[in-house]
Amino acid sequence: METRSSSYLGGEYGLRSWFLTVDHKRIGIMYLLGVSFFFLLGGLFAVLVRLELLTPPGDLFQSETYNKLFTLHGIFMVFFFLLPSIPAVLGNFLLPLMIGAKDLAFPKINLLSWYIFMVGGLFTLYAMLAGGVDTGWTFYTPYSSTYANSHVIMAALGIFISGFSSILTGVNFIATIHKLRAPGLTWFRLPLFVWAHYATSLIMVLGTPVVAITILLVAVERLFHVGIFDPALGGDPVLFQHLFWFYSHPAVYIMILPAMGVMSEVIACFSRKRVFGYGFVAFSSLTIAVLGFLVWGHHMFVSGQSVYAGIVFSLLSFLVAIPSAVKVFNWTATLYRGSISFETPMMYALGFIGLFTIGGLTGIMLATLAVDVHVHDTYFVVAHFHFVMVGGVVMAYLGGLHFWWPKMFGRMYPELLARVASIIIFVGFNMTFLPQFVLGYLGMPRRYHVYPDEFQVLNVLSTAGASILGLGFLMTAAYLPWSLKYGKKAGANPFDAVGLEWDTPSPPPAHNFDTPPVVTHEAYERKEEELVHV
Amino acid sequence: MSSSAETTSLHATGELAHHFETIDQQNQSAALGMWAFLVQEVMFFGGLFTVYLVYRTLHPGAFAEGSHHLPVDVGTFNTAVLIGSSLTMALAVRCAQLGEGKKAALLIYATMALALVFMGVKGVEYSHKWHDSLVPGLKWHPEAGADAHLNLFFALYFVMTGCHALHMLIGLVLMVFVARKAWRGGYTRANFLGVECLGLYWHFVDLVWIFLFPLLYLLHAPGGGH
**Which chain B residues are closer than 8 Å to A236 by Cβ?**
54-55, 58
Q: How far is A303 from chain B (nearest CA, A)?
A: 17
- Which residue does chain B place closest to A222, by CA atoms? B137
Sign of CA dihedral B188, B194, B200, B206: negative
Nearest to A174 among B36, B55, B58 (CB): B36
Upper half-sphere CA count for residue A378 (Cβ side, 13 Å): 19
- Which residue does chain A place closest to B51, by CA atoms? A239
Q: In this complex, is the C-beta atom of B8 within 8 Å of any C-beta atom belonging to chain A?
A: no
Instruction: Please report, for residues A38, A48, A466, A476, A504, the alpha-carbon distance to residue A44 in angstroms, rounded to integers and kept in the order given.
Output: 10, 7, 11, 16, 38
Query: Is residue A268 a contact partner of residue A327, using CB atoms and an 8 Å limit?
Result: no
What is the structure's pLDDT at B11? 84
Angstrom distance (rounded) from CA A110 to CA B182? 26
Instruction: Please report, for residues A367, A369, A388, the alpha-carbon distance to residue A373 in angstroms, rounded to integers and kept in the order given.
Output: 10, 6, 21
Phi and psi, residue A33, nearest 5°:
-65, -45
DSSP B107-126: HHHHHHHHHHHHHHHHHHHH
Angstrom distance (rounded) from CA B157 to CA B139? 15
Tell which CATH architecture fits domain A27-531: Up-down Bundle (1.20)
Query: How far does chain A reach from its first CA to its final CA, in angstroms?
Result: 41
Q: Under an 8 A CB cutoff, do B136 and A227 touch?
A: yes
Q: Under an 8 A CB cutoff, do A220 and B41 touch?
A: no
Name which of A405, A409, A465, A406 is nearest A435 in CA terms: A465
Q: Under an 8 A CB cutoff, do B47 and A174 touch?
A: no
Q: In this complex, is the C-beta atom of A235 within 8 Å of any C-beta atom belonging to chain B?
A: yes
Q: How far is A386 from chain B (nearest CA, A)?
A: 29
Collapse the DSSP code of A134 into the 3-class scheme (helix H, G, I; strand E, B; otherwise coil) and give the result: coil
Query: How far does chain B reach from its first CA to its final CA, in angstroms?
Result: 64
**Which chain A residues are closer than 8 Å to B49 by Cβ?**
none
Q: How far is A217 from chain B (nearest CA, A)?
A: 8
Nearest to B29 among A179, A208, A227 (CB): A179
Angstrom distance (rounded) from CA B28 to CA B34? 10
> At residue B171, what is the residue type?
G
Collapse the DSSP code of A511 into the 3-class scheme (helix H, G, I; strand E, B; otherwise coil) and give the result: coil
Whether the per-residue pLDDT at B5 is higher than 80: the answer is no
What is the structure's pLDDT at B7? 78
Name which of B26, B4, B31 is nearest B14 in CA terms: B26
Q: How far is A355 from chain B (nearest CA, A)?
A: 34
Angstrom distance (rounded) from CA B25 to CA B16? 10
| Domain layout of chain A by residue ranges | 27-531
Which of A:383-412 have CB within 8 Å of B?
Answer: none
Nearest to B159 among A105, A171, A217 (CB): A217
Angstrom distance (rounded) from CA B100 to CA B78? 29
Q: Under an 8 A CB cutoff, do B55 and A217 touch?
A: no
Using alpha carbons only, what angle is made at residue A347 by residues A343 and A348, rounded to the nearest 5 degrees? Answer: 125
> At residue A253, what is the residue type?
Y
Q: Under an 8 A CB cutoff, do B40 and A167 touch?
A: yes
What is the structure's pLDDT at A530? 46
- Which residue does chain B place closest to A213, by CA atoms? B44
**Which chain A residues are closer than 8 Å to B17 by Cβ?**
107
The H or E element spanning position B139 is: strand B139-140
Q: In this complex, is the C-beta atom of B123 within 8 Å of any C-beta atom belonging to chain A?
A: no
Instruction: Please report, for residues A9, A10, A105, the alpha-carbon distance to residue A14 in angstroms, rounded to integers and kept in the order given.
Output: 11, 10, 25
Q: How far is A357 from chain B (nearest CA, A)?
A: 32
Q: In this complex, is the C-beta atom of B1 within 8 Å of any C-beta atom belonging to chain A?
A: no
Angstrom distance (rounded) from CA B55 to CA A231? 12
pLDDT digits (tens, 9 = 90+) for B190-216: 889 999 999 999 999 999 999 999 999
Whether the per-residue pLDDT at B4 is higher than 90: the answer is no
Angstrom distance (rounded) from CA A148 to CA A424? 40
Q: In this complex, is the C-beta atom of B43 within 8 Å of any C-beta atom belonging to chain A?
A: yes
Q: In this complex, is the C-beta atom of A207 within 8 Å of any C-beta atom belonging to chain B?
A: yes
Nearest to A239 among B40, B54, B149 (CB): B54
Q: How far is A475 from chain B (nearest CA, A)?
A: 39
Instruction: Answer with the residue of higher pLDDT: B2 or A232.
Output: A232
How many Cβ contacts (< 8 angstroms) between chains A and B? 120
Q: In this complex, is the C-beta atom of A218 within 8 Å of any C-beta atom belonging to chain B?
A: no
Query: Is residue A113 a contact partner of residue A184, using CB atoms and an 8 Å limit?
Result: no
> At residue A147, what is the residue type?
Y
Q: In this complex, is the C-beta atom of B55 within 8 Å of any C-beta atom belonging to chain A?
A: yes
- The region that residue A533 occupies, defined by phi over 0 for left and psi between -120 and 50 for alpha, beta otherwise, is beta
Q: Under an 8 A CB cutoff, do A213 and B48 touch?
A: yes
Q: Under an 8 A CB cutoff, do A214 and B47 touch?
A: yes
Angstrom distance (rounded) from CA B133 to CA B135? 6
Q: In this complex, is the C-beta atom of A212 within 8 Å of any C-beta atom belonging to chain B?
A: yes
Using alpha carbons only, what angle is made at residue A385 by residues A384 and A390, rounded to the nearest 5 degrees? Answer: 110
Q: Digits of tens for pLDDT over chain A (534 positions)?
A: 344 447 899 877 888 889 999 999 999 999 999 999 999 999 999 999 999 999 999 999 999 999 999 999 999 999 999 999 999 999 999 999 999 999 999 999 999 999 999 999 999 999 999 999 999 999 998 888 888 888 999 999 999 999 999 999 999 999 999 999 999 999 999 999 999 999 999 999 999 999 999 999 999 998 888 889 988 888 999 999 999 999 999 999 999 999 999 999 999 999 999 999 999 999 999 999 999 999 999 999 999 889 999 999 999 999 999 999 999 999 999 999 999 999 999 999 999 999 999 999 999 999 999 999 999 999 999 999 999 999 999 999 999 999 999 999 999 999 999 999 999 999 999 999 999 999 999 999 999 999 999 999 999 999 999 999 999 999 999 999 999 999 999 999 999 999 999 999 999 999 999 888 999 999 999 865 544 444
CATH fold for domain B31-218 = Four Helix Bundle (Hemerythrin (Met), subunit A) (1.20.120)
Angstrom distance (rounded) from CA A240 to CA B150? 20
Q: In this complex, is the C-beta atom of A509 within 8 Å of any C-beta atom belonging to chain B?
A: no
Q: Under an 8 A CB cutoff, do B58 and A227 touch?
A: no
Cis ω on the peptide bond leading into residue A507 (within 30° of 0)?
yes
Q: Under an 8 A CB cutoff, do B33 and A216 touch?
A: no
Which of B:160-179 have CB within 8 Å of A?
Answer: 163
Q: Under an 8 A CB cutoff, do A235 and B152 touch?
A: yes
- Which residue does chain A place closest to B48, by CA atoms? A213
**How many other C-beta atoms are found inside a 10 Å radius of the C-beta of residue B14?**
8
Q: How far is A179 from chain B (nearest CA, A)?
A: 6
Strand partners, A220: none
Q: Which of B11, B51, B157, B167 to mutate to test binding with chain A, by most A CBs within 10 Å of its CB?
A: B51
Query: Is residue A512 a contact partner of residue A504, using CB atoms and an 8 Å limit?
Result: yes
- The region that residue A139 occupies, defined by phi over 0 for left and psi between -120 and 50 for alpha, beta otherwise, is left
Strand partners, B134: B140
Q: Under an 8 A CB cutoff, do A105 and B29 touch?
A: yes
What confidence tier does B14 reach under pLDDT thresholds 50, 70, 90?
Answer: confident
Whether the per-residue pLDDT at B134 is higher than 50: the answer is yes
Which pairs with CB-CB distance under 8 Å and at least 24 residues apart come from A18-25? A20/A111, A21/A111, A22/A103, A22/A107, A22/A108, A22/A110, A22/A111, A23/A103, A23/A107, A23/A510, A24/A92, A24/A93, A24/A95, A24/A96, A24/A103, A24/A104, A24/A107, A24/A110, A25/A92, A25/A93, A25/A408, A25/A507, A25/A508, A25/A512
> At residue A86, what is the residue type?
I
Whether the per-residue pLDDT at B10 is higher than 90: the answer is no
Query: Is residue A395 a contact partner of residue A352, using CB atoms and an 8 Å limit?
Result: yes
Nearest to A175 among B36, B40, B149 (CB): B36
Find the DSSP H helices in A273-394: 278-291, 307-335, 344-367, 369-375, 379-388
Q: How far is B15 from chain A (nearest CA, A)?
A: 14
Q: How far is B215 from chain A (nearest CA, A)?
A: 18
DSSP A275: P
What confidence tier does B1 reach under pLDDT thresholds 50, 70, 90?
Answer: very low
Q: In this complex, is the C-beta atom of A215 within 8 Å of any C-beta atom belonging to chain B?
A: no
Angstrom distance (rounded) from CA B143 to CA A214? 30
What confidence tier does B143 reach under pLDDT thresholds 50, 70, 90?
Answer: confident
